[in-house]
Amino acid sequence: MSKTIIDDGFNAELVSNAFFDGLLEIPIIEKPKEIIIPSGLIPFTQMKRSETKSEAVHFYEHDKRFSDVLTCTKELLPELSSFSAVISPDCSLYRDMPLCLQIANTYMNRAVGHYLQSRGLYVIPNIRWGDERSFTTVELPEKFAFLGAPKNSIVSIGTYGCIQSRENKNYFRKGLSAMLDELSPEVVLVYGGMPECIFGEFKNRTQFVNYPDWTSTKRRRAV
């Protein structure tokens, strides 16, 4: 008699030994023993182009381009392990997304980050927020965008594609302020531009380390 294979539905292996944060039970990415600032960042889809593997792998790309890391995390472990660090997946939190999907994407961000960390990788939590529902207690009793991330540590954020309009800049600045209040990070990696109108008032709050987006980097190399 053949064995029935049951799909667990949410890849439970990712959080089999995790601790969880808050009422929403978001998996926790633990604070590292030491803060290591990557020499550079490389997109998940460009990993094969790395010559030294000294960069941190990031997921500041369209969600469909890194969907494999959410569903086939274990299979990608050997390749990701060859890099100096991995930033947890940048699952989208669009402001017009239903709240349940924003929470689910925050869960997946931390679940994959926790799994990779539990397998010995140096993981830097990516912090992503949407509108006030994600970084205030307007509709929920907790700021779910920051659940599962360590305080007084290192985190990463991405501005690429997120701050084009005045409205986007306004939401990003509010979320950044809330993140600094909630997590008090020692180091914040920033992928993409750092306009003064957003970051100027916060530069004395933490150490920001800026990395150009991949497109700009390629353009400079081509010149």
At 42, give phi and psi (nearest 5°): -135, 135
pLDDT per residue as tens digits for the range 57-75: 999 999 999 999 999 999 9
Q: Would you state the pLDDT for residue 210?
A: 97
Q: For residue 16, give Cα distances in angstroms to 20, 30, 81, 115, 166.
A: 11, 15, 20, 9, 42
- Stretches where the chain sits below pLDDT 70 are 1-9, 216-223
Has residue 44 been placed in a domain?
A: no
Best CA proximity match to 123, nearest among 136, 110, 139: 110
SS3 state at 160: coil
Residue 163 CA to residue 161 CA, distance in Å, equals 6
Total domains in the fold of the chain: 1
Has residue 185 been placed in a domain?
A: yes
Has residue 118 been placed in a domain?
A: yes
Has residue 158 been placed in a domain?
A: yes
Has residue 178 been placed in a domain?
A: yes
Q: Which domain holds residue 69?
A: 51-222
pLDDT per residue as tens digits for the range 89-128: 999 999 999 999 999 999 999 999 999 999 999 999 999 9
Has residue 45 been placed in a domain?
A: no
Has residue 179 been placed in a domain?
A: yes
Tokens of 177: 């302020």
Burial class (CB in 10 A: 0-12, 13-18, 19+), 109: buried
Has residue 90 been placed in a domain?
A: yes
Tokens of 72: 């086939």
